[in-house]
Structure 1
Amino acid sequence: MKNELKNLMIVSLVLFSYSLFAQFRTEKDLLGEKQIPADAYYGVQTARALENFQVSGVKTNFYPDYVRAYAMVKLAAARANADVGRMKKDRLDAIEKACQAVIDGKYHDQFLVDLYQGGAGTSANMNANEVLANIALELSGHKKGEYKFIEPHDDLNMGQSTNDVYPTTIHVALLLHNDKLMKEVKLLSDAFHKKGDEFNKILKMGRTEGQDAVPMTLGQEFHAFGYQLDAEIEGLRKSEAYLYEENMGATAIGTGITATPGYAEKCAVHLAKITGKPMVLSPDLIAATSSMQGFVMYSSALKSLSVALSKISSDLIILAMGPRTGLFEINLPALQPGSSIMPGKVNPVMPELMNQICYKVIGNDLTVTLASSNGLLQLNAYEPVVAISIMESQALFYKTMPLFRKNCIDGITANEEVLKHYIDRSVGIVTALNPVLGYEKTTELAKEALSTNKGILELIREKKLLTEDQIKKLLDPATMTGQK
């Protein structure tokens, strides 16, 4: 009985040990061996990064286009290495399949490194190397971790360094995100222009420095919002040029150590074809490896967009103030109750949301500025926070703009009676009467209107200075606002 129990315990222990072994594989690096989950496509260096950088909880795969950018860069590198005779065709074929799978949206759950990390992006680069290597191994009929067939360093990082892969990948990711961003800015601009057409015959008072100025149409005001955004689209488009320049082949500091002659040029050509962007090799790889100009210039364009959107959002809030004691020239769509204590209050939540996004983007630009200015000698180790800041800014914009457009801009209506009342009562309209009544007479009218609290048109009618037909012609929106 004792022997049977002993044998049963031994069998159970063996089975338990086997189950543990089956759930893990052993990998090693310069720090020693480490157990890796058997079903994981990442390897030992990614596992260490997962332990070391539990910071934000925001992982590489939070931005799918960022993951795709790694696959695009690694694909270009593999093809370039094959072109210069360094990578064998069977390994190229396997790596191509692995990269294409990631570009197609597969295996993204394996890109797990926190976006905040030390090491200038080494962990992110190795995460990509290990995942792509193990995908390639499986697609070639091998097991994960059988690196004698395809190795993360020797094959996926062939002729490369984190110091050229990481910034190039960020450039590609930002370009992919910029396509989304410009599309959303254009849709928002179109929405403002559509409102401009809708409101083009509604006369209102323009204001400068918060004071009554001269007449305009509500349509002109909304078209101006649209044109401001059109200019920002052009700024984003122009800033892309700074991201087209890449440094693949620079390796560690820009001297090209470990890279095969001709590889860098070939890589740029392949990267351009893969991304559909006019990527070009930097003329000086040492400068490109240490410089952050592309990031700084693009981030500046995002800041400029923030300034424009914040100004527009604040204008909408002012124009909608009320309903009884503010300007109340327009109505913003009512989306939710605005107070837990004040019945009937509805707040301008969408312009407020957009303002908050703009403030965050402006803050991110400052982060980019500080991090970019503090690189040391041949490398900037703070590229991760630069990448995080810019990608966050892009995502905040292209995710918020559809909400702002659909839930606010598209539903704005004009309070025409309020606008007409302001025109009738405003002293500012007197400027438009100068050519008819003369400067001296209009000055007298303005003075009397202010002292008696009467409107200019009211005084003109009292004094019979103009007929109703003349007043009607003068107040025609097209005439009054210089549109004909």
Structure 2
Amino acid sequence: MTQEYRIEHDTMGEVKVPVDALYRAQTQRAVENFPISGKTLEREHIAALAQVKKAAARANLELGVLDEDRSLAIQAAADEVIAGKYDAHFPIDVFQTGSGTSSNMNTNEVLASLASKALESKGIDVHPNDHVNASQSSNDVFPTSVHVAVTNALVNELVPAFEYLATAFEEKAAEFVDVVKSGRTHLMDATPVTLGQEFGGYAASIRYAIERVNASLPRVAEVPQGGTAVGTGINTPTGFSARVVELLAEQTGLPITEARNHFEAQANRTGLVEASGQLRTIAYDYVKINNDLRWMGSGPNTGLGEIAIPDLQPGSSIMPGKVNPVICEASIQAMHQIIGNDTTIALASTNGQFELNVGIPVMAANLLESIRLMANISRVMADKMVKGIEANTERARFLAEASPSIVTPLNKVIGYEAAAKIAKYSVKNKMTVKEATIALGFVENGSITEADLDKALDVTTMIGEYK
């Protein structure tokens, strides 16, 4: 089917635009100029741009910049975009002008088309720049939209996902409170712990993740809206900045605040860097947790086999019956992507010169992807793995009692060097610590009684006070 076009114009001349497109000339130029990745703005980012436009239209009405008809039509159009009705009309590649001007104009054009159509019977036209973009610049709108989208994703997607996963780990910690297993340091046998203690540690890591995200929110939620071109607020009516930010917070229910310094807020994107850095830090914890789980679940016959991870799918195209810890592997790969995204975000943050950073679209795309990946994998881990983990209690207890490090309580009775002799003897001669202690004559020479030896080597007494 042949694509039909209409002719649109902008300050550079005429442009052929698909006949059914809501966008106009400037968007079409960007589509043609940036055929790079095929990756467009995240859905949440499109919605955030529309939220900014809606708040601006409301403020402009109150402050006498827009008439009621145009303001209400723009607001209604923005609501439709926020709802996801017109995502297909935002075709511009992520790799575009670094200020996001192309996507700001894309939003202006779509809203102008929708609003103009709504006012057609009244003979009122809505212009993308003069009306939808009134009192605004791409240089304050686009970064504001990124911060709104990221704040929303952190508050309404990521933190609840962390809560969900932390709760799953806490429930397992309670279930495994009495399952004694070997501790390990340097991947070598260490004194006993409980599986509950380990899972409690994982839960704590996720709880700390919530703290880390919440700690970054005040900077992430601080927006430059109202600074317009360079932070001075040129072409805005008095009181616009404060009012549009207030309305934006009201519309979204998010803790959005006005930039304390508009020049810093447009020149730098360090709030996004901070949030990404928190995700990178959290990702390292996720890699560690997933590696622990797949080590403990390794086997079934030749690995540690202390836990059974739910079987989800066949693990080999050639080895019948093989099942792999696929959620652990998917999680680790997602974390590697998040760590890589953070590098891109950090590098893009250095692309600020004088009054503006010009690496914003790629920062937005990568950070929103990282949040989405981490939120999704948290729920997948909880539902498809953590909730279904079972303890192999007998195997765990056997390995705990087989560890030569359970000799440690004897330090207080016979001294460190004698205890070390027992540990080495037990490993060399493939016997238990108790057998080695007796074989080396410590019971016979009265250094310790057999009853006291049994008490000292009871692994259930070695798990400490921190349950």
* TM-score, L = length of structure 2: 0.91
Matched, 1:420 2:401: no
Partner of 1:250: 227
Quote how far apart the aligned CAs of 1:477 are: 3.3
Amino acid at match of 1:52: N
Q: How does 1:195-214 map to 2 (within 5 A)?
A: 195-214=172-191
Alignment partner of 2:54: what SS?
A: helix
Q: 2:303 aligns with which of 322, 326, 340?
A: 326
Quote how far apart the aligned CAs of 1:434 are: 4.3
Q: How does 1:55-454 map to 2 (within 5 A)?
A: 55-60=36-41, 63-142=42-121, 149-178=125-154, 179-435=156-412, 442-454=419-431
Residues 192, 462 of structure 2: 8 Å contact kept: no
Quote how far apart the aligned CAs of 1:142 are: 4.9
**CA distance in 1: counterparts of 2:82 and 2:297, whole angstroms:** 46
Residues 296, 368 of structure 1: 8 Å contact kept: yes
Question: Which whole-Å deviations, capped at 9, do the CAs of 1:100-146 have from their partners, x for residues lacking one?
Answer: 22223322222222222125211110111111111112223459xx8
What is the aligned residue count?
Answer: 459
Residues 352, 359 of structure 2: 8 Å contact kept: yes
Residues 182, 401 of structure 2: 8 Å contact kept: no
Question: Which whole-Å deviations, capped at 9, do the CAs of 1:279-325 have from their partners, x for residues lacking one?
Answer: 22212212211111111101101101111101111111222222232
Distance 1:135 1:472, change over 3 A: farther
Question: Which whole-Å deviations, capped at 9, do the CAs of 1:351-402 have from their partners, x for residues lacking one?
Answer: 1111111111111111111111122222121111111111111122222222
Question: Which whole-Å deviations, capped at 9, do the CAs of 1:209-252 have from their partners, x for residues lacking one?
Answer: 12222111011011101101110111011111111211111111
Identity of aligned residues (%): 39
Quote how far apart the aligned CAs of 1:28 are: 0.6
Quote how far apart the aligned CAs of 1:474 are: 6.2
Residues 214, 429 of structure 1: 8 Å contact kept: yes
Alignment partner of 1:477: what SS?
A: helix
Quote how far apart the aligned CAs of 1:441 are: 5.7
Residues 83, 266 of structure 1: 8 Å contact kept: no
**CA distance in 2: counterparts of 1:268 and 1:184, whole angstroms:** 28
**CA distance in 1: counterparts of 2:335 and 2:197, whole angstroms:** 24
Amino acid at match of 1:288: A
Residues 54, 74 of structure 2: 8 Å contact kept: yes
Alignment partner of 2:208: what SS?
A: helix
Alignment partner of 1:240: what SS?
A: helix
Q: How does 1:16-35 map to 2 (within 5 A)?
A: 24-35=5-16
Partner of 1:14: none
Quote how far apart the aligned CAs of 1:457 are: 3.5
Partner of 2:27: 46
**CA distance in 2: counterparts of 1:152 and 1:246, whole angstroms:** 22
Residues 424, 458 of structure 1: 8 Å contact kept: no
**CA distance in 2: counterparts of 1:89 and 1:106, whole angstroms:** 24
Amino acid at match of 1:79: R
Residues 121, 166 of structure 1: 8 Å contact kept: yes
Distance 1:296 1:480, change over 3 A: closer
**CA distance in 1: counterparts of 2:194 and 2:74, whole angstroms:** 60
Residues 474, 480 of structure 1: 8 Å contact kept: no
Question: Which whole-Å deviations, capped at 9, do the CAs of 1:68-101 have from their partners, x for residues lacking one?
Answer: 1111111111122222221112211111211122
**CA distance in 1: counterparts of 2:141 and 2:68, whole angstroms:** 22
Quote how far apart the aligned CAs of 1:171 are: 0.4
* TM-score, L = length of structure 1: 0.88
**CA distance in 2: counterparts of 1:392 and 1:110, whole angstroms:** 21
Residues 152, 254 of structure 2: 8 Å contact kept: no
Residues 192, 459 of structure 2: 8 Å contact kept: no
Using the TM superposition, name which of 348-357 and 408-417 deviates more.
408-417
Amino acid at match of 2:350: S
**CA distance in 2: counterparts of 1:412 and 1:52, whole angstroms:** 51
**CA distance in 2: counterparts of 1:437 and 1:411, whole angstroms:** 44
**CA distance in 2: counterparts of 1:305 and 1:119, whole angstroms:** 28
Alignment partner of 1:76: what SS?
A: helix
Question: Which whole-Å deviations, capped at 9, do the CAs of 1:445-474 have from their partners, x for residues lacking one?
Answer: 324323422111444677595667984796
Alignment partner of 1:36: what SS?
A: strand
Residues 119, 125 of structure 2: 8 Å contact kept: no
Distance 1:284 1:451, change over 3 A: same
Residue ranges of structure 2 left out of the alignment (5+ in a row): none
Quote how far apart the aligned CAs of 1:173 are: 0.6
**CA distance in 1: counterparts of 2:128 and 2:395, whole angstroms:** 69
Residues 76, 271 of structure 1: 8 Å contact kept: yes
Measured on the aligned residues, the alpha-carbon RMSD in Å equals 2.5
Residues 191, 403 of structure 2: 8 Å contact kept: no
